[in-house]
Amino acid sequence: MALTNRHTDGFATRLGVLTATLGSAVGLGNIWKFPYMTGDGGGAAFLIIYLLATLAVGLPVMIGEIMLGREARANAVGTWKNLAPGTPWFLVGAAGVLAAFLIMAFYTDVVGWVFSFIVRAATGQLNSTDPKVGEAAFSAMVSHPWHALFWQWGVLALVGGILLGGVSKGIEKTTKVLMPLLFLMLLAVCVRSLMLPGAAQGLAFLFAPDFSKVTVDVVLNAMGLAFFKLSIGMGTMMTYGSYFRSDADIPLTTARVMLADLVVSLLAGIAIFPAVFNYGLEPTAGPGLLFMTMPAVFSSLPLGQVFMTVFFLLTGIATIGAMLSLFEVPVALFAGSGMMSRKAAVIATALGLAAFGVPATLSFSTLADVSVFGKNFFDLYDFLSSNIILPLGGICICLYAGWVWGGARSHAALSNGGTLANAAVIRVWYALVRYVTPLLVVLVLLKGLKVF
C-alpha cells in the first residue's frame, strides 16, 4: 500500500486516545438529542433499543472506521486513497468532509445558544419558574440574526484556537482536562436532581420499560442516533484513528468509549427527568426541553441559579470535544494534502464553517421563510448529514472492511499484529460487519429517504 499524506502529529498517550475519542462522542447528542428522543420513544424501552443499536451497528462501524484510519495513517480522503488507490472509494471520504461542514453548521448554532444561556443563567436573567421566560429568552436569541451569529462565530474562534495547538497539544490536552470536569459537574447536578421529591417518577420513566411505545420508527431512530452519537460514518473516527498509537487496543477503546458515552447520556437523563417530573412538566417537550423547560425547573430549587449555570456550563463543555473532532476533519485534509500549513488550514476551515453556518443560523430569523425540499437550512443540514451521508458512509465502511480489506488483514490490524489476545472479539466483529450491520444500516438509510 502506497502511503501518502501521513501525519507527524498524533495522540501521545493511551489516556489521550481515550479522552479525545470520548470527547468526540460526548456532546449535544447526549444532553440535547438523547433526552428528548428518550422522552418521545417511551423512556426505558428506547434506552434498551438504543443499547442494542450501539452494539449491532455503532460499535462495529466505529471499530472498522478507526482500524482503517490507523492502518492508512491519513485524513478522511487520504485514508481511502492510501488503501484503495485509483478507485472511487475516496468519494466516501469526500462526502464525510461535506458532512463535517453540514453538522458543524447547525451544531455550532445550538452550541452558541448554550453559551449564551450560560451567561444568561449566571447573570440571573432566567430566574423564573414560568417556562415562558426561558421560551421568551430562547426565541429572542434565535430570532436576532447578529446575536445568533455572534455566538456561533465566537464558538468557532474558540475551537479553532484550540486546534492551532495541534493534535497532541491541542485536542488531546484539552479533552484530558474537560472530560473529568464534565463527569464531576454532571454528577453534582444528578445528585441535586435525585434529592427532589419527584425523583422516583423520573427514574421510573428512564428505567422501567414500556414497550408499547416501540415502533419501527423508534428502532430506526435509535440506530440513526447511534451514528450521530458515536461520530461515525463520516471520517471523524477515521481521522482520529490515524492519530491512534500503534499499541492502542482498538476494540477495547471503542467499547470503553461507547460505555462511557452511554453513562453520560444516562446521567444527563438522571439530571433532567426527575426534575421535569417534579414540576409536572412534559418529558416529551422536544428540542426545547433544554432551553425552555430546564431554566424553569432550576429556578424552583434552592441554589437554583448556581445549578442552572453549572448545567449549561457542563453542556457547553461537553460540546467542545465533539466540535474539535468535526473541525479536525477538514483541517487534517487541507494540512495533510500539503496544500497549506496547519495554521492556514485552521483559518481556512474556520472561515468556511462560518460561511456554511450562516444559512443554518438565519433559519430562525432572516431566512425563516426559505425552504429547500420542504425544510429550512438548519433541518436540511441535519437531515442530509444524519439521515443520508452518515448511514451511507457506514455502509461503505462495512463493505470495505468486511469484504475488501478482509479477515486476515483485519485480524492482524485489530490484534496489533497478534500481540492482543482478542481473536474471539474480532470474529464476532467480522461477522457483524460483513452481514448484520450493513443490512441494518440500509434500513436506516431507506427510512431516511422516506422509502417506508
Interface residues with ligand PFF (CB under 6 A) are 24-25, 27-30, 103, 228-229, 231, 234, 236, 322, 325-326
Q: How far apart are CA 429 and CA 216, in angstroms?
A: 25
Contacts (Cβ under 8 Å, ≥6 apart) of 351: none
- Residue 234 CB, nearest approach to ligand PFF (Å): 5
Of residues 31 and 440, the one with the C-beta less far from ligand PFF:
31
Of residues 103 and 220, the one with the C-beta less far from ligand PFF:
103
- Residue 26 CB, nearest approach to ligand PFF (Å): 6
Q: What is the DSSP letter of 246?
A: T
- Residue 25 CB, nearest approach to ligand PFF (Å): 5
Of residues 219 and 326, the one with the C-beta less far from ligand PFF:
326
**Cell numbers at 439, concatenated:** 443490512
Of residues 99 and 426, the one with the C-beta less far from ligand PFF:
99
Contacts (Cβ under 8 Å, ≥6 apart) of 406: none
Of residues 41 and 304, the one with the C-beta less far from ligand PFF:
41
Of residues 103 and 272, the one with the C-beta less far from ligand PFF:
103
- Residue 138 CB, nearest approach to ligand PFF (Å): 20
- Residue 43 CB, nearest approach to ligand PFF (Å): 20
Q: How far apart are CA 222 and CA 174, in angstroms?
A: 30
Q: How far apart are CA 244 and CA 306, in angstroms?
A: 38
- Buried-state track 154-165, b at ≥16 Cβ within 10 A, e below 16: ebbebbbebbee
- Residue 143 CB, nearest approach to ligand PFF (Å): 25
Contacts (Cβ under 8 Å, ≥6 apart) of 15: 176
What residues does 372 pair with on adjacent strands? Answer: 375
Select from 419, 422, 398, 418 the least CA-distant residue to 63: 398
Q: How far apart are CA 373 and CA 376, in angstroms?
A: 8
Query: Which residue is nearest to ligand PFF, using beta carbons?
Result: 29
Contacts (Cβ under 8 Å, ≥6 apart) of 430: 402, 407, 410, 411
Of residues 158 and 420, the one with the C-beta less far from ligand PFF:
158
- Residue 415 CB, nearest approach to ligand PFF (Å): 27
Of residues 230 and 296, the one with the C-beta less far from ligand PFF:
230
- Residue 226 CB, nearest approach to ligand PFF (Å): 10
Cα dihedral sign for 58, 61, 66, 69? negative
Answer for the pair 173, 334: CB distance below 8 angstroms, yes or no.
no
Q: How far apart are CA 32 and CA 452, in angstroms?
A: 27
